[in-house]
Amino acid sequence: MNNINPLLSVIIPVYNTEEYLEKCLESVLNCTYKNLEIIIVDDRSPGNVKELAEKYISLYSNIRLVSNKSNQGLYLSRIIGVEHSKGDYIAFLDSDDYVSIDFYRRLIRKAISSNSDMVMGEIYLEEDGKYKYHNLSHTRVMDIDLYGSDVSKLLFDQEGRDWSLHVVWNKIYRKDLWNKCYEYLKLQDKHLIMCEDVVFSSIFFYFSEHMTNIHGDFVYYVQHSKSSTSCDNISLQKIRKNLEDINLVFDFITSFFNNLIKDNRYSNNIANWKKLLCKNWSKNIEKSNFKNIDKKILKKIFNDTLDSNYDDDYFLSVYTENIYGLRGEEIKQKISDNNIEVVSFDIFDTLIVRPFLEPVDLFNILDVYVNKLLKLTDRINFKEIRIYAENKARENKWRLNPSLEDITLDDIYQEIKELLKLVNQADIDKIKKYEIYLEEKYCYARNYARELFELAIHLGKRVIITSDMYLPSNVIKNILNKNGYVGYEKVFISSEIKKTKNTGNLFKYISKLMQIDGRRILHIGDNIHSDINKGKECGWNTFYFPKAYDLLRNRVDWYYGGNVFNDIYHEAFLHRGKDQYKYYSGLSALLGVAANKIFDNPYREFRTDTDFNSDPSIFGYFCMGMHLFSLTHWLIDNIYRNDYSTLIFMARDGYLPMKSFELFNQIYGCEVDVHYLKLTRNVIFPLQINKKEDMYSIPINLNIFTKTPLDILNIFRCFISEENFLEKENILASKNIKINDYFSKMDSFFNFIEVFNERFFSEERFLEYKNKMNSILVKLIKGKTATFDIGYSARIESILSKVFNFNITPYYVHINNDIPLKRCSDLKMNIETFYNYSPGVTGVLRELLISELGPSCESWVISDDNVDYVYKKYNINYIEKYVIENIQKNALDFVSDVLFLFGDDVKSLFYQWQDASLPLEKFLNEAKYYDRLMFKALSFEDDLGEGKSNYNILDFWNGQMNNSRMNTSIIQVGNDLGSIYPLWKRAIFLYFLDRNLLKYKINSRFRTQPKKLKVIKTVYRFLRSIYRSFKFR
């Protein structure tokens, strides 16, 4: 095996797709990876496949034709192709599809660098010459790097909902993986077309030890009427065959796992996968032109139906059409062009980026160093001095000698010395040296540009570096080498040659020195004037590579990258001043890091009616990442300055901030004990009852009209003797209280309390419970303690302070009313909030974004000073897990990236905390429709009074958005309607205008009549289910 360029075998089965075969073959033959063989498998196709194959075989020595004696079907033809191959890696490609020019090289490079036995690329859908991709698919959203059983878990957990995972033609497979799977693949020996890739992938994923993926290179999946998944223009016989294939595939997979492998972990997943396919085919058949009797016959082939509580079309629900042209493909084709001998790259903002929104923002960090060095009484603005000195040096050079087109760093610092005459030369030299240090520290590779650089090197092009820059070439070379740019021929720097791209003279100088016609050179850069227009004027080929921060700000005419930056930071937003990023170094840094990540590939298409491309990874990195960073920065700054001994993160809302805090504290080094405390309301609430009279405070903490006497007894079970608890129903019945009836009036609740205090409350058991809790809590809460939670009421903290005398300060994201302020005031306890206002959208979605994906703690079982946690039932659908995990992962990636880049300098990033959270607040309050669809399949448990119904987060969120934007006007309109329309018409109006307000009004009106409320809710859900059945039909 060639470890640098291993042989790749591309297997292309052909049956009745000859008209597409040439385009398919041309794409493989013209790709940038040359050490490959093509195995064409003629599956007794009725067309001229042999003639076409022989034409190509006569021209290329790496193509072979294998002809089946009879039609074997797609599945067996793929196996036959591999059996005739010699490659170290295997790829499958359908003969009516084709690949991007750098697809196979990128896959091979990833496989080698990561030691992966399976690598997956992206997919572009082509139909009638138009291109689109599905925004939510795993291939787009995820950076996959999975080992062992996590690989198979990825495939089976999603139960076939995202077909980009199980198709075989967007991946390469190492030969040793094939060898493991071969004996099992051969057991399926029947003619198979439909879902054949499900068999392959089920076995490949199961035996794979390491799977990764790439972005930016893809298979073009051509959609046309001859597709095996289409019902259009296909005979009844072929449809029947497809449906029978589905049964065959899933019978085989089920038998493989249950009987051969003896592993039934995925049995339910496989069954649901089949149900999904049957459901989708049933829909296709229903929409087809077949006769009704034929439709019934076809549907009888499978009787399975998919009974699912979440969307099965989630991964296909949002797509982006290409409107800019395939520029990423175009630039790679330009580099690959045989007429191009030299490829020239600009450096800064092309090959190299800095973590700032503007290059001069690096001087903010330099400014901190200078002020510490000079130890002045007050600060100087060295950033402005540095910028002025550079401009002054250029003016002087051009005035004294116009032929010298650029200046050096030494020239700039000579001007600084002239300005700061009282500063000694040694300090000036230290400052200059530190600027060079910062450039080398903060410059890092733009990954997509590095891919282009490596492609040019791979193709044997002469690569040069061409830059207008004042830094010396040795510094430039250090920066390039540090970031993996090796193998280039020469660096041309304007400050040393004294000619610039800006005038065009540097291009002319290079052509003359290298003795090469400009038409043989391709220059890639980010500046329209100096890189593109001036290069063209000098006869060079040029290609525009936009700056990441220009894309964030929508400064590129032909490109759209969302309006968030301009709406929030460029324009005045929420009564803030314009262009705040210019005045706060930390905000510039955070935005710069976000831009460099999101727009690393400058040709990444954005859907134009979104801000975040309906992509959980972009939303997670940009919105949640900046919010999480500033939230944690605020928290650790307070912990650091206030010298806390203990920090408690409350489960589950404290989970993501805790993970972020752990990253921050690697730099801050706060000597604080950190704990994750599963102290929920159910656990702590009984401690609020120190004496019988405290039972009267229950209504401030619970909606008693959604509770029964049994609910209250269960909450305070720890206070009740076993004997009385067993007799609870009889005890209550003797007082004419029905144990399962909801409290209908306040006096019915207080009547119950009277009985509770008399017959159930045991002070002895209360003290016992209190002592048990104390035995656990004193081990965790020591000394001056801070707690962190999303909010809202300070109930838990006030109980801990009052009952156990703990010294606690709660830290919240925000509060919603004055109750926590009153509680803290009563106890002379401080309370700190990240937001000094109550956000319009709060609760469910905000909590979900930062919470641990896991069950809530229902109770503690304490014995021998140890605690065992009892958890509530927890069910999470795959899509919710997929969305939230990707958002949280990318948010933590953002925090990690900033901390890695800045290190201890993160303490010198100054900004107003809330400004960094504005993207999240804009999203929560004003998210565009297609961005909101990221969350369309997520649900939560909502009351409508009972806490039993599953409620769609998107519906709830839409209502909150309406309230936050126009709550007053809606309520006013709703009230005014009373004098015009009857109640039933008002209800219909509110249903469409603000469903949450309607629910609130119904709950308020009928809260003392639980039976009527229950009937109303039952009718509502019934009507809603009918509506949804028509809506999604």
Q: Domain segments of the chain: what residues?
A: 8-228, 327-354+443-545, 359-441, 694-760, 983-1031
β-pair partners for 132: 125, 321
The burial of 758, by beta-carbon neighbours within 10 Å (0-12 exposed, 13-18 middle, 19 or more buried), is given as exposed
Which pLDDT score is estimated for 1018? 76
Q: Report the pLDDT value the prediction gives residue 997, as an integer from 0 to 100.
A: 52
When pLDDT is cut at 50, 70 and 90, the band that residue 645 belongs to is very high
Q: How many CA atoms lie within 13 A of 941 on its CB side?
A: 9
Task: Name residue 445's beta-bridge partners.
Answer: 352
8-228 sits in which CATH class? alpha beta
pLDDT at 694 over 80: yes
Which pLDDT belongs to residue 807?
A: 97
Question: How far apart, in whole angstroms, are the C-alpha atoms of residue 828 and residue 820?
Answer: 12
The pLDDT value recorded for residue 842 is 84
| pLDDT value for 888 | 98
**pLDDT > 90? residue 483:** yes
pLDDT the model gives residue 237:
83
Of 176, 144, 155, 169, the residue nearest 257 (C-alpha): 155
CATH number for 327-354+443-545 (one of 2.40.50.100, 3.40.50.970, 3.40.50.1000, 3.60.90.10): it is: 3.40.50.1000
> How many Cα atoms sit within 13 Å of 748 on the Cβ side?
17
* pLDDT, position 516: 97
pLDDT category of residue 279 using cuts at 50, 70 and 90: confident
Q: How many H-runs (helices) and E-runs (strands) does the chain carry? A: 45, 27
What is the distance between the alpha carbons of residues 1004 and 703, in angstroms, rounded to a whole number?
Answer: 11
Residue 944 confidence (pLDDT)? 35
Distance, in Å, from the CA atom of 362 to the CA atom of 356, rounded to the nearest integer, reads: 7
In the structure, what pLDDT confidence band is assigned to residue 684 with cuts at 50, 70 and 90?
confident
Q: What is the mean pLDDT of residues 561-567?
A: 94
pLDDT of residue 1023: 72
Is-contact 35 109, C-beta < 8 A? Answer: no
pLDDT band at 1006 (very low <50, low <70, confident <90, very high): low
Mean pLDDT on 335-346 = 99
Secondary element (H or E) of residue 535: helix 534-537
Percent of the chain at pLDDT > 70 equals 91
Position 945 confidence tier, pLDDT thresholds 50, 70, 90: very low
Contacts of 196 (CB under 8 A, 6+ apart): 73, 74, 75, 78, 245, 249
Structure tokens at 197: 């890739």
CA 364 to chain centre: 30
Q: Choose among 359, 602, 348: nearest CA to 491.
A: 348
Q: Model confidence over 765-803: pLDDT tens digits?
A: 888 889 999 999 999 999 999 999 999 999 999 999 999
What percent of the chain lies above the pLDDT cut of 90?
75
- For the segment 641-662, the average pLDDT, to the nearest whole number, is 97
Range 174-190 average pLDDT: 98
Q: What is the mean pLDDT of residues 163-174?
A: 98
Q: What's residue 951's pLDDT?
A: 67
pLDDT band at 967 (very low <50, low <70, confident <90, very high): very low
> Which pLDDT does position 452 carry in this prediction?
99
Confidence check: pLDDT of 736 > 60: yes
- Cα separation, 518 vs 534, whole angstroms: 12
CA distances from 658 to 245, 665, 844, 915 (A): 50, 10, 19, 21
> Which positions ≥6 away from 697 have C-beta within 8 Å?
688
Lowest mean pLDDT of 159-163, 580-584, 586-590, name the range: 580-584
| Contact present, 347 and 527 (Cβ < 8 Å) | no
Provide the whole-model pTM: 0.90
Q: Which of 410, 388, 532, 424 is nearest to 471 (CA)?
A: 410
Domains 8-228 and 327-354+443-545 share a fold: no
Q: What is the pLDDT of residues 285-323, one digit of tens each?
A: 877 778 888 777 777 776 654 444 445 789 999 999 998
The pLDDT score that the predictor gives to residue 1019 is 79
Higher per-residue pLDDT: 650 or 972? 650
Mean pLDDT of the chain: 91
Higher-pLDDT residue of 1021 and 142 is 142
Asked if residue 132 lies in contact with residue 322, where contact means CB atoms within 8 angstroms, the answer is: yes
Q: What is the 3-state secondary structure (H, E, C) of 98-157?
A: EECCCHHHHHHHHHHHHCCCEEEEEEEEEECCEEEEECCCHHHHCCCEEECHHHHHHHHH
Q: pLDDT band at 980, cuts 50/70/90?
A: very low
Task: Identify which of 95, 262, 273, 255 has the alpha carbon closest to the alpha carbon of residue 188.
Answer: 255
Residue 674 is predicted with a pLDDT of 98
Report pLDDT for 201: 99
Q: Rounded to an integer, what distance in angstroms lies between the CA atom of residue 361 and that of residue 584?
A: 10
The neighbour count for residue 779, using CB atoms within 10 Å, is 11
CA pseudo-torsion sign 76, 77, 83, 88: negative
Confidence label for 1017 from pLDDT (cuts 50, 70 and 90): confident
pLDDT at 994: 52
